[in-house]
Amino acid sequence: MSSNFGSMPLRYRISIDREQCMECGRCVENCPYGVFRWDGNRILINSRNCTACHRCLTYCPRDAIMLQEHPCDYRSHPVWTRSVRESIYNQARTGKIILAGMGSVANLPIIFDHLMLDACQVTTPPTDPLREPVELRTYLGKKPAKLEFTQKPNGDVELSTELTPNLMLETPIMLGHMSYGALSLNAHVAMARAAKETGTYMGTGEGGLHPGLYPYQDRMIVQVASGRFGVNVDYLERGAAIELKLGQGAKPGIGGHLPGEKVSADVSRTRMIPQGSDAISPAPHHDIYGIEDLPQLVNSIKEATEYKKPIFAKIAAVNNNAENVAAVARSGVDAIAIDGFRGGTGAAPRVFRDHVGIPIEVAISTADQELRKQGLRNEVSIIACGSIRESTDVIKAIALGADAVYIGTAALIAMGCRVCGNCYQGLCSWGIATQRPDLVARLDPDVASKQIANLIHAWTLEITELMGAAGINSIESLRGNRDRLRGYMLDEGLLEILDVKSVGA
């Protein structure tokens, strides 16, 4: 149906400096969105299709291409902002829910940036990581609350407590769940290799496990989501751990949707669904309609895998997060991943992405507090996720009470993603969020895995240095050590919730 709006102002303008341009046509080849086309021997531009993916800019040998965001101004207005007006035009035209890609764009303060780290000065010496060990090794899973011993006839005591299976990580950074289907196989292979190289783990997401990843299966956490795509006992047995996805920070309370265009032959086989059909994950698991159903699911998966693998659960951080976490902790799972409201996604309704949920910093803090209060902290490890951007976010999340983190978007960016937010179009020019073979081929798994491994390695080094400066030589001594954080320009209520003192205190 047409509307009376005409065309909207351009989101991005692409321009070519004709003086510089040598008409090599690399931009035409590289832009999957059809912004450039040949007209005789001249390159024409349709800026309206541009997603700001930067592919053309990076491949132009003459730096002739320039991109400008919002080249056309609206009359500025503090209430009726550009995005408010454009959403209304959009919905007045279509009558539909607006979908958006990547994480929240809400312009809210990031708590991590208002938490300052501590360093040792005169009363305690810093640890020099070059000379003394600083241990980042992390175990995820249940820990005993206390140990039991038996006395042997010769008088020696022997440990009788049996430890349940834990995952051993060389660094507290894992690669979070992003499905094959949403991402390309090359992206998945790159992440899996990086996980293996850096001694950590990667989540499969809810899209099943492609045979191309079997060589790395001991580094994979296989996910079971409400769509149950690709789930059978073989899948469960291949994973190093199994994660039940109960919620997602970018869209708490709703399910997922992989558009049919992304369901290629390979994706259809891996997900066990017909090719080209939309893959819909319902909002709830159809066998979990109350918390008491969760232990049944956990137990059946434990039975199926003979109690050999840790079971994780992932929930979105919402208001009564502490209670949710305590409820899940009682279900028998070994770790809980908490996804904050800034968590990434291929596509989510804009209103959910930008308005539902709570920040990960608060969620971790309240979860850790509540679990300790209820004597459940040893029952589960806590994994923080949802916009972990740099090594300091990792260290702050752990100081607030997390055991480890999942990174998602940061890993994509390490492979070349420009956070253009158009993953749902399936045309990712970097070969990451697409199934189109020519685009997938753009991502060399060897190169991309090295880049992700470099990122994890670099963060690990930074964490080591920061811990050393704080005089802490093992990661468990950082965990929940909120004393080593100070809040800068956070209000009193928030400081109290975070259980962090103000700077100067």
Partner 1 sequence: MCGIFGVMDKRRQMMDGSGIRDALSMMNERGSGEGAGYVAYGIYPDYQDCYALHIFFDRACESRAAVEAMLEQWGTIECGEAIPTYDQPNLKANCAPWRYFFRPDASLAPGSASPEKDVIANLVMQINAGTTGAEVVSSGKNVGVFKASGWPEDVANYYRIEDYEGYIWLAHNRYATSCPEQWERPDPFNLHDWSVVENGKTTTYGANRRYVESFGYTCSTGTDSEVIAYLIDLLTRKHGLAIDLAIRALAPPYWDEIDRMPEAEQKLNRALRFAYGSATMNGPFTVVAANPDMMVGFTDRGKLRPMVVGECGDRLYIASEETAIRAMEPCVESIVRPAAGEPVIGRVAP
Q: Which residue in 444, 483, 491, 496 binds partner 1 (CB under 8 A)?
A: 483
Indicate the residue among 436 and 457 with the shorter CB distance to ligand SF4: 436
Q: Which residue in 257, 262, 482, 486 binds partner 1 (CB under 8 A)?
A: 482
Indicate the residue among 56 and 400 with the shorter CB distance to ligand SF4: 56
Part of the chain binding partner 1 (CB under 8 A), chosen from 29-37, 77-85, 265-273, 474-482: 474-482
* Minimum CB distance to partner 1, residue 481 (Å): 4
Cβ atoms 176, 385 nearer than 8 A: yes
Residue 423 as a binder of ligand SF4 (CB under 6 A): the answer is yes
Q: Which does 251 bind (CB under 5 to 8 A by kind): ligand SF4, partner 1, none?
A: none
Q: Which does 256 bind (CB under 5 to 8 A by kind): partner 1, ligand SF4, none?
A: none
Cβ atoms 387, 394 nearer than 8 A: no
Instruction: Phi first, then psi: give them for residue 57, nearest 5 degrees.
Output: -60, -40
Cβ atoms 325, 315 nearer than 8 A: yes
Indicate the residue among 256 and 310 with the shorter CB distance to ligand SF4: 256
Cβ atoms 254, 247 nearer than 8 A: no
Part of the chain binding ligand SF4 (CB under 6 A), chosen from 27-35, 247-255, 438-446, 467-475: 27-35
Q: Which residue in 16, 472, 490, 498 binds partner 1 (CB under 8 A)?
A: 472
Task: Report the relative pairing of strands 12-16 and 65-69 from DSSP bridges.
Answer: antiparallel
Residue 505 as a binder of partner 1 (CB under 8 A): the answer is no
Nearest-CA neighbor of 332 among 366, 363, 293, 365? Answer: 293
Which residues 252-281 are close enough to bind ligand SF4 by CB under 6 A? none
Q: Which does 433 bind (CB under 5 to 8 A by kind): partner 1, ligand SF4, none?
A: ligand SF4
Which residues 166-185 are close enough to bind partner 1 by CB under 8 A? 166
Residue 503 as a binder of partner 1 (CB under 8 A): the answer is no
Part of the chain binding partner 1 (CB under 8 A), chosen from 21-29, 109-117, 158-166, 449-457: 158-166
Transcribe 446-469 into DSSP letters: HHHHHHHHHHHHHHHHHHHHHHHH
| Dist CA 283 CA 278 (whole Å) | 15
Q: Which residue in 52, 99, 116, 376 binds ligand SF4 (CB under 6 A)?
A: 52
- The beta-carbon contacts of 419-423 under 8 Å, at least 24 apart in sequence, are 419/102, 420/51, 420/52, 420/53, 420/54, 420/101, 420/102, 421/51, 421/100, 421/101, 421/102, 422/51, 422/53, 422/101, 423/101, 423/102, 423/182, 423/346, 423/347
Cβ atoms 380, 452 nearer than 8 A: no
| Dist CA 113 CA 69 (whole Å) | 26
Transcribe 270-318 into DSSP letters: HHTS-TT--EEE-SS-TT-SSTTHHHHHHHHHHHHTTT-S-EEEEEE--
Mask: binding to partner 1, 126-145, rule CB under 8 A, as x and -? -x----xx-x-x-x---xxx
Q: Which does 14 bind (CB under 5 to 8 A by kind): partner 1, ligand SF4, none?
A: ligand SF4
Residue 31 as a binder of ligand SF4 (CB under 6 A): the answer is yes
Indicate the residue among 89 and 149 with the shorter CB distance to partner 1: 149
Transcribe 340-374 into DSSP letters: -TT---S-EEHHHHHHSS--HHHHHHHHHHHHHHT
Q: Which residue in 75, 78, 79, 146 binds partner 1 (CB under 8 A)?
A: 146
The residue with tokens 């066998």 is 287
Indicate the residue among 30 and 281 with the shorter CB distance to ligand SF4: 30
Q: Which does 157 bind (CB under 5 to 8 A by kind): partner 1, ligand SF4, none?
A: partner 1
Residue 474 as a binder of partner 1 (CB under 8 A): the answer is yes
Residue 496 as a binder of partner 1 (CB under 8 A): the answer is no
The burial of 116, by beta-carbon neighbours within 10 Å (0-12 exposed, 13-18 middle, 19 or more buried), is given as middle
Which residues 357-396 are close enough to bind partner 1 by CB under 8 A? 372-373, 375, 377-378
What is the total count of residues that contact partner 1 (CB under 8 A)? 41
Indicate the residue among 254 and 400 with the shorter CB distance to partner 1: 400
CA of 18: how far to CAs of 38, 42, 71, 238, 243, in Å? 14, 10, 19, 55, 53
The residue with tokens 């000379």 is 131
Mask: binding to ligand SF4, 383-422, rule CB under 6 A, as x and -? -----------------------------x----xxxxxx
Indicate the residue among 124 and 320 with the shorter CB distance to partner 1: 124
| Dist CA 191 CA 424 (whole Å) | 20
Mapped onto helix, strand or coil, the DSSP state of residue 15 is strand
Interface ranges with partner 1 (CB under 8 A): 120, 123-125, 127, 132-133, 135, 137, 139, 143-147, 149, 157-159, 161, 163, 166, 372-373, 375, 377-378, 470-474, 476-484
